[in-house]
Amino acid sequence: MAARWSSENVVVEFRDAQATAMSVDCLGSHAVLSGRRFLYMVNLEAPSEQPRKIGRQSKWDVGTVQWKPHRDEAHVFAASSNQRVDLYSWKDGCGEIHSSLQGHTRVI
């Protein structure tokens, strides 16, 4: 695994995102910012590019979002909101919901 180190700090604001959670994939190439209506995919290789959006249909904010930690399936991540966990797939610049899990009686 190659690591790239730099003393450069990059600050980018996404004011319309209203993100409640963030996660970086295990490769360090993408970050997901999660809001109530959209998930915003940020390319960390070029963070000043406009983020891509994945639509959500929920009235609840995302409590947590987490990428799969294994390199062979680094394109899969999960976002939890209220009593549901949605699994997403991000491949070739396109994201879609893979499946939803619901079984808790309390908030995750």
pLDDT category at 1 given cuts 50, 70, 90 is: very low
- The pLDDT tens digits of the residues spanning 36-50 come to 888 999 998 888 888
CB 77, CB 69: distance < 8 Å: no
- What's the rounded Cα separation, in Å, for the pair 34 and 104? 21
Say whether pLDDT at 81 is over 50: yes
The whole-number pLDDT of residue 77 equals 94
